[in-house]
């Protein structure tokens, strides 16, 4: 049995902070992300370690230029390209007792790290995270951002819109104590997606606190095309199915909603086809029509969300919202069912392997 009150160690003031970022094909986002990290005001020295995957869009050359301009940036090779492998490589290459995970699609407020470290110290937590504040530059990306920021879009996890500070299941990105990371074994390199959730499960199982504070927020720029979004969510769902195979009901109930939707859609389509073929008729057809109700209710919900959002930007944003929500849910749910049935094996998020389309 774990001790729920186990305190994480607090290093001496001024010990410094290490930022770690895995990078692959992120030329359009990397420089802005790096600039927000270098602008962090922390108590003591800081460094940024970039774990470079085999990019083909100029990301590596950009990272080398940035490193030549600022001695705080260090580069390590991540030939496997996997995120947890890159994170472990970057953490091992870093030196400070507090580790901040950052992402090439993320941008930090100037006081993010200092405020998060203060929460770590006060709560004696092992990991602290805040709100993922998704944003977009195009109608499609704005629609994805609204879905990310809505409990309807991603299921209501604390970092997608929580309002109360307190113990959490996981943390977005995460500001972590190195000593705890080393104690629990770092990131599991056999998990390609959902690696942060699994790490936080081990941290909590060891008795340490994972803490959410809504005063902390990170800007996140979602995928910028429909196919890349679908591939991202299919891979994420597939790995969640794998995590359910490994950890069962230690996964929250919200993770089971998208696969339930996929099954409801399949059932509705089968019933509809049998009704059209005349196989189901009369009273039995009326009874079987109940299978359409969950899908109809979901369609009404999605239409309501699409019509009711947009921030005054017009019907393009609303139309993309109408397309984005079912894309996310059905891709994720289909991936989950496949992963739960046969495992994720070596599946990867192929959206990361495609060159970014420059944003306007």
283-324 pLDDT, tens per residue?
Answer: 899 999 999 999 999 999 999 888 876 555 578 778 888 899
* Residue at a domain's end among 190, 225, 260: 225
What integer pLDDT is reported at residue 311 of this predicted model? Answer: 53
Structural domain tally of the chain?
Answer: 2
- 73 and 205 share one domain: yes
- 179 and 97 share one domain: yes
44 neighbors 15 (Cβ within 8 angstroms): yes
Label residue 359 by pLDDT band (50, 70, 90): very low
Residues 81-102 have pLDDT tens digits of 899 999 999 999 999 999 999 9
148 within domain boundaries: yes
CA pair distance 159, 225, nearest whole angstrom:
24
Q: What angle do CA 243, 249, 251 make, to 5 degrees?
A: 50
Closest to 20 (Cα-Cα) out of 90, 83, 75, 124 = 90
What is the chain's mean pLDDT, rounded?
90
230 within domain boundaries: no
Residues 250-296 have pLDDT tens digits of 888 889 999 999 999 999 999 999 999 999 988 899 999 999 999 99
Domain with residue 200: its CATH number is: 3.90.550.10
N residues, the chain: 360
- 87 and 220 share one domain: yes
210 neighbors 167 (Cβ within 8 angstroms): yes
User: Token pair 């400070």 is at which residue?
Assistant: 96
CA pair distance 48, 17, nearest whole angstrom:
9
Phi, psi (degrees; rounded to nearest 5) at 231: -65, -40
- 206 and 65 share one domain: yes
100 neighbors 17 (Cβ within 8 angstroms): yes
29 neighbors 63 (Cβ within 8 angstroms): no
For the entire predicted model, the pTM comes to 0.87
SS3 218: strand
104 neighbors 30 (Cβ within 8 angstroms): yes
- 132 and 68 share one domain: yes
- 271 and 317 share one domain: yes
Q: Which domain holds residue 264?
A: 245-353
Question: How crowded is residue 204: how many other Cβ atoms within 10 Å of its Cβ?
Answer: 22
Pairing of strands 175-177, 98-101: antiparallel
- 211 and 282 share one domain: no
> Beta partners for 132?
218
- 203 and 265 share one domain: no
- 197 and 102 share one domain: yes
- 168 and 114 share one domain: yes
* Residue at a domain's end among 225, 255, 287: 225
199 within domain boundaries: yes
- 42 and 130 share one domain: yes
Phi, psi (degrees; rounded to nearest 5) at 313: -85, -10
Q: Give the tokens for residue 182.
A: 């080393």
Residues 6+ apart with CB under 8 A from 27: 55, 57, 58, 59, 62, 356
Q: Give the tokens for residue 346.
A: 């070596």
- 220 and 305 share one domain: no
């Amino acid at each position: 049995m774990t001790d729920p009150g186990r305190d994480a160690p607090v290093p001496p003031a001024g010990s410094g902070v290490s930022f770690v970022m895995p990078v692959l094909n992120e030329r359009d986002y990397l420089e802005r992300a790096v600039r927000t990290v270098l602008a962090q005001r922390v108590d003591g020295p800081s460094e940024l370690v970039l774990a470079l995957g085999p990019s083909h869009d100029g990301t590596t050359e950009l990272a080398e230029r940035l490193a030549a301009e600022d001695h705080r940036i260090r580069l390590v090779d991540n030939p496997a390209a996997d995120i947890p492998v890159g994170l472990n490589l970057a953490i091992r290459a870093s030196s400070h007792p507090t580790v901040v995970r950052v992402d090439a699609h993320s941008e930090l407020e100037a006081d993010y790290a200092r405020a998060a470290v203060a929460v770590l110290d006060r709560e004696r937590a092992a990991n602290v995270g805040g709100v993922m504040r998704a944003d977009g530059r195009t109608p499609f990306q704005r629609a994805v951002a609204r879905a990310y920021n809505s409990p309807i879009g991603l299921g209501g996890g604390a970092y997608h819109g929580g309002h109360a500070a307190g113990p959490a299941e996981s943390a977005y990105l995460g500001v972590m104590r190195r000593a705890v990371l080393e104690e629990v074994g770092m990131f599991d390199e056999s998990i390609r997606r959902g690696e942060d959730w699994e790490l936080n499960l081990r941290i909590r199982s060891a008795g340490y606190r994972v803490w959410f504070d809504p005063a902390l927020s990170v800007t996140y720029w979602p995928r910028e095309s429909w196919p890349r979004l679908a591939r991202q969510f299919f891979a994420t769902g597939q790995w969640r199915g794998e995590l359910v195979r490994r950890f069962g009901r230690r996964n929250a109930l919200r993770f089971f909603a998208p696969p339930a939707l996929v099954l409801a859609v399949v059932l509705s389509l089968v019933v509809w086809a049998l009704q059209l073929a005349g196989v189901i008729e009369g009273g039995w057809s009326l009874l079987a029509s109940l299978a359409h109700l969950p899908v109809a209710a979901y369609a009404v919900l999605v239409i309501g969300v699409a019509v009711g959002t947009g921030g005054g930007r017009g019907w393009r944003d609303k139309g993309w919202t109408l397309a984005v929500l079912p894309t996310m849910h059905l891709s994720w749910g289909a991936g989950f069912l496949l992963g739960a049935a046969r495992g994720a094996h070596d599946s990867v998020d192929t959206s990361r392997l495609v060159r970014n389309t420059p944003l306007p």
